[in-house]
Structure 1
Amino acid sequence: MNTATLVLTAAGSVLLLLFLVMKARMHAFVALMLVSVGAGLFSGMPLDSIADTMQKGMGGTLGFLAVVVALGAMFGKILHETGAVDQIAIRMLKSFGEHRAHYAMGVAGLICALPLFFEVAVVLLISIAFAVARRTQGNLVKLVIPLFAGVAASAAFLLPGPAPMLLAAQMHADFGWMILLGLCAAIPGMLIAGPLWGSIISRHVTFSSPPEDKQPDVDAAQLPSFGFSLSLILFPLILVGLKTIGARFTEPGSHLYQWLEFIGHPFIAILLACLLAIYGLAYRQGMSKEKVMQVCGSALQPAGIILLVIGAGGVFKQVLVDSGVGPALGHALIGAGLPIALACFILSGAIRIIQGSATVACLTTVGLVMPVIEPLAYSGAQLAALSICIGGGSIIFSHVNDAGFWLFGRFTGASEGETLKTWTMMETILGTTGAIVGMVAFELLS
């Protein structure tokens, strides 16, 4: 089948996905599976290989991510239930002071969202922004934009977030470099898109007085210490970082090298962090075994839905790869003369704008570009830089087909127009800033 037909199949598949999710109101999981079958049929795949390709895509995606997301969900839920997340947010506000509360909200969002899903982090932290807005009588816009920017930066660029972890695994990137470059992208992105943009747009947009916070007041005396709370969140990142750093100073194949490889794998790092949160924090605070079991069980319910959608995105990606659609579109894009890092950003951004999901945009882009970049034998560090570019593109221009768009409006009371001026611009600034960092890093590492 010629390149033009394959490219049209890719474009038609994404447009069909958009129609099914937005107009037909079909669940994203069912829509992705249906579109995957359609893409396989129209690209000329043998009928007997379509189902095998779908199974391969689901297993290849979830084989790694299911463990990470499940353990990460339990880890984050325990940190919330024990007050560790609240402690970090409260300390940030005390350290920065009320006049710089918008910076405190950004930093708190960036740190506290590390072990949490985007939606969960917003739900847990938004009440703090409301409380500060009531206390300072300031414009809520100036506080919620940095908060959402911090949470979004963490979700887009920082391990152990599901999207960055998924990108690193699918791109075969070095996890240690992913942490380093993710920080280089997330911190300036959060500062520019959060406190800076929030201060500018708050002069033109004013949200109504914040809704009453239904969450009970937090008793700071009952919370774990700030140092221990922060250490728990950073613990899995340190283990993964030790693997990358230690690999440069130890003999490959040695006993120490093998141990560093073992404890630095995301599976082991997050498992140890989860056990530390349970036995070192929850039980020490007097939480019963039954309560811990209940907390862990409740954390897995939303994680299951997220995993199914991610798995279906992996099916779509694999069909694009095995059918030849991915290589054709990828080569066409590279053939246009665009640098590979810029092409990753543009492709991810285009898919994000069309269908709304950042995770699906990441997975689909990987499927389109991997056939092009695999023969080039890039290093793990370069692949981490390209992953950051894809992650940046996957969050730009959030609009009405993105759940985050409506989540922001629901919590702040913003109209659709106000959400476009505040949330959409923030996401675009954040994604573009992060992607520029990724492009610069790719050039420096080349």
Structure 2
Amino acid sequence: MTRLSVEMLAADAPEPITSAGHAQLGIAVLAGIAVIVLLITKFKLHAFLSLTLGSLALGAIAGAPLDKVLTSFSAGLGTTVAGVGVLIALGAILGKMLADSGGADQIVDTILEKAGGRSMPWAMVLIASVIGLPLFFEVGIVLLIPVVLMVAKRGNYSLMRIGIPALAGLSVMHGLVPPHPGPLVAIDAVGADLGVTLALGVLVAIPTVIIAGPVFSKYAARWVDVQAPEKMIPQRPSEELDKRPGFGATLFTVLLPVLLMLAKALVDIVVDDPGNPVQRVFDVIGAPMIALLASVLVGIFTLLRPAGFSKERISPLVEKGLMPIAGILLIVGAGGGFKQTLIDTGVGQMVLDISEDWAIPALLLAWLIAVVIRLATGSATVATVSAAGLVAPLAADMSTTHAALLVLAIGAGSLFFSHVNDAGFWMVKEYFGLSVGQNIKTWSVMETIISVVAGGLVLLLSLVI
């Protein structure tokens, strides 16, 4: 970024709510993040409350009037929830429909029928990647772990040979591919194009998931050679259903929002005329909210009706799908509030100045910031929303593709080395019956591989596009 572009951005930026210098702002940022980390890790306070208090601490130490800090935080929270809240809700509904109708099991069973022997790890990574598109990471784990355990037992596979590819598929989708909450928040924060980010995210995700999944699982199975624990093999949810939706219909429903968003991005590139009727139509149907809404409505007829769901059962299902996301929405919203507080106190301009003086590539800086916050808080979502707020000003004079790569760099950094302060770490440990050491050698190393490989691919792409 040139000095001229920095000066132009400074001229366009709103007046900061504090006159603090770089040193005071730097201390305020470190203190704000430290408050968040301490409250989450030491005092076990919910991330929503921790982000709220961290924002207030940041503003106070930066010397900003608290009424203006509250206004900034509230504005950021409202804008973020308005931007991604509906998308998260629609994704949760689609995931619940997929799970309760037996559609997820239908995809699993169909692919497993075609796989065996050496191809099984590849089948598992494919299953997890497809099912992981509309599902939150924790929901995906709960849904897929029974499948992983049963396949490992039935085929007498090492648990890591089957489990690592499945976990890699879920984790990569969670960190890099919208409509997951993390990428959506980062896209909203930096003003990136969703379709371009989705396309580049898939491009980065494919080699990343291959290396961290089937390839790494060979070594993980040697390091930790364990079998599926008998006590953790539950009954499959859809075994209670009389019938299930078809494989083709289920796959179409899952991939429909992705196809619509990618079609919009392709039409925007080929037509490149905002007044063109075709482009205007695709701008509407490829908008994230419309794409996900279409998938949910289609799912009523392709997932729920074939599974025997009456009209009376659909409304309760939607309600149950929405209940678990309350905490996620609040965390994402508070992250948006924290981001806006960072910007309004002038931290964004400080990051611009520092990144120019240090000559650190913006993508590497974004990855490193996300890594530090991930290691400290254990939350990929908190790392994403916080890092996006810090580096958002860097995207102001970036091209469309580089802004999308900035989002992916943040997402890659947010997955780095999951350890004992991450809820996902304990979920994997308990489901697989591993010790802490075994979980670090497998799950934690896998997450680090994902972060480093994806980050490296993002930097490589930035040199060629």
TM-score range normalised by the length of the shorter chain:
over 0.9
- Residue 249 to residue 181, structure 1, CA distance change in 2 (3 Å): closer
1:309 paired residue number: 331
Query: Which of residues 241, 245, 248 in structure 2 aligns to 1:224?
Result: 245
Runs of 4+ in 1 over 4 A off after TM superposition: 217-221
Identical counterparts, % of pairs? 35
SS in 2 for 1:159: coil
Deviations 1:98-117 (A, max 9, x none): 43211111111111011111
1:243 partnered with 2:241: no
1:168 has 2:168 as partner: no
Residue 449 (structure 2) aligns with = 429
Aligned pair count reads 443
1:289-336 CA-partner distances (Å, limit 9, x unpaired): 121111110010111111011111111111111112343245324422
Greater alpha carbon shift after TM alignment, 69-78 vs 253-262:
253-262
SS in 2 for 1:222: coil
In structure 2, distance between residues paired with 1:11 and 1:298: 39
Summarize the Cα distance change of 1:209–1:369 in structure 2 as closer, same or farther, 3 Å threshold: closer
- 2:434 corresponds to 1:414: yes
In structure 2, give the amino acid aligned to 1:335: D
Once the two structures are superposed, residues 389-442 of structure 1 have per-residue CA deviations (whole angstroms, 9 ceiling, x without a partner) of: 110001001111111111111211111111111111100101111112211222
Q: Judge conservation of contact 1:75–1:273 (CA < 8 Å) in 2.
A: yes
Aligned residue in 1 for 2:366? 344
Q: Following TM superposition, by how much is the alpha carbon of 1:217 offset from its aligned partner in structure 2, in angstroms? A: 7.4
Aligned to 2:12: none
Distance in 1 (CA, whole Å) between partners of 2:168 and 2:67 is 46
1:253 maps to: 275
Number of the residue aligned with 1:118 = 137
Equivalent-residue separation in structure 2 for 1:143 and 1:125 (angstroms)? 11
Structure 2 unaligned segments of length 5 or more: list them.
1-19
CA distance 1:91–1:283, change in 2 (3 Å): closer
Query: In angstroms, what is the RMSD of aligned CA positions?
Result: 1.7
Deviates more, 1:330-339 or 1:62-71: 330-339
Q: Structure 1 stretch 280-289 or stretch 228-237: which is displaced more?
A: 280-289
Instruction: Give the match for residue 281 of structure 1.
Output: 303
1:357 aligned partner: 379
Structure 1 residue 221: Cα displacement: 8.7
CA offsets, 1:44-71, max 9 Å, x none? 1123211110111101111111100111
Is 2:25 aligned against 1:6?
yes
Structure 1 Cα separation of the partners of residues 177 and 21 of structure 2: 39
1:331·1:372 contact (CA, 8 Å) conserved in 2? no
Question: Residues of 2 paired with 1:423 and 1:280: CA distance?
Answer: 35
* Aligned residues of 1:88 and 1:108 also touching (Cα < 8 A): yes
Q: Is the 8 A contact 1:386 1:442 kept in 2?
A: no
Other-structure match for 2:90:
71
| Residues 1:402 and 2:422 are matched in the alignment | yes
* Mean Cα deviation higher: 105-114 or 171-180: 171-180
Asked if the contact 1:172/1:380 (under 8 Å) is kept, the reply is: no
The SS at the match of 2:230 is: coil
Contact 1:351 1:361 in 2 (8 A): yes
Given that residues 334 and 343 in structure 1 are in contact (C-alpha distance below 8 angstroms), is that contact kept between their aligned partners in structure 2? no
Q: In the alignment, what sits opposite 1:153?
A: 172
- Amino acid across the alignment from 2:425: F
Letter in 2 for 1:43: A
Q: SS at 1:203's partner residue?
A: helix
Q: Distance in 2 between matches of 1:228 and 1:279?
A: 9
